[in-house]
Amino acid sequence: MGLVHDVRIHKVPDGLLEKRSGHTQSVSRALSLLSKLSEETDGLNLSELARRVKLAPSTAHRLLTTLQLDRFVRFEEGRWLIGVQAFNVGSSYMRSRDISHMARPYLRMMMQETGETSNLALMDNNGNSLVYVSQVECPQLMRALSKPGAKAPWTCSAVGKICLAYLKSDIAINIIRQTGFTQFTRKSIVDEGLFLREISKAKTLGYAVDEEENSDGLRCIASPIFDANSKVIGALSVSGPSVRIEEQKLPNFGRVTLRTAKELTRALGGVWPV
């Protein structure tokens, strides 16, 4: 997430495209294999699958074995079939799409009430990453943007902090230690003990604050959303330049995100933890 004043289109250098063309071709071929397999509930044998995607059987087999390692495909009784990880990815997309659609009115309401950009970030099915999936921009010329599809950092974003605050402590610590700390700004927290105290405070308040820890001059306030089992699945946030979101406004912004997150949780059939 960062502050923007305008929108620019950046051209990818031709040399970079050339360097990546071989890799891109392999990805495209692998996706073609997945696409064809998704059309056949009983799967396909190697020769038929290779013929349909117009690949040499040896090339198709190499790509399939790579996909099999990550469980995107499986091999049973001489036939290749879609694997569980492909289902997980599809389910994650459907879940994100549904929640994003339902969240739009709440994001718009937060933007109108605070005058700042509002965001929705969701955890993936495995709980390993947190991704921005929807945003309602404020009308200000200078505003905070986080492109949908971008990953949110766990330890220096308000959405990351508040999700960690409501995860089981062992899971949260595992994520923190795997992710590590990055010094994005002079205010970034890089001490584990200090960070754990920070997310404990956030859980008590019901909202977390990114105090210019990810980007200089940017503040963000976030509150969690939960599923039917009171498990945290993501967060709503409001973000903008610190010159507008002054320190004395943070408690009020926190109340807005907390109230809205509770309302969205109820609308999704979720249950706020006791």
Q: Give the model confidence (pLDDT) of 207-254 as tens digits.
A: 999 999 999 999 999 999 999 899 999 999 999 999 999 999 999 999
87-106 pLDDT tens trace: 767 666 556 567 888 899 99
The pLDDT confidence band at residue 5, using thresholds 50, 70 and 90, is: very low
State the CATH architecture for 89-267: 2-Layer Sandwich (3.30)
Sorting pLDDT into bands at 50, 70 and 90, what band is 21?
low
* Res 189: pLDDT: 93
Q: Which residues of the chain are in CATH 1.10.10.10 domains?
A: 14-82
Would you place residue 61 in the very low, low, confident or very high pLDDT band (cuts 50, 70, 90)?
A: very high
Task: Tell me where in the chain the CATH 3.30.450.40 domain(s) lie.
Answer: 89-267
- pLDDT at position 24: 79
Angle between helices 169-179 and 158-166 (to 10 degrees): 140
CATH 1.10.10.10, domain 14-82, yes or no: yes
pLDDT digits (tens, 9 = 90+) for 144-203: 666 667 888 999 999 999 999 999 999 999 999 998 898 999 999 999 999 999 999 999
pTM for the model: 0.67
SS (H, E, C) the chain: CEEECCCCCCCCCHHHHHHHHHHHHHHHHHHHHHHHHHCCCCCECHHHHHHHHCCCHHHHHHHHHHHHHCCCEEEECCEEEECHHHHHHHHHHHHHHHHHHHHHHHHHHHHHHHCCEEEEEEECCCCCCEEEEEEECCCCCCEEECCCCCECCCCCCHHHHHHHHHCCHHHHHHHHHHHCCCCCCCCCCCCHHHHHHHHHHHHHHCCEEEECCCCCCEEEEEEEEECCCCCEEEEEEEEEECCCCCHHHHHHHHHHHHHHHHHHHHHCCCCCCC
Neighbours of 247 (CB within 10 A): 10
Percentage of residues of the chain with pLDDT beyond 90? 60
Nearest Cα residue to 115 out of 137, 134, 97: 137
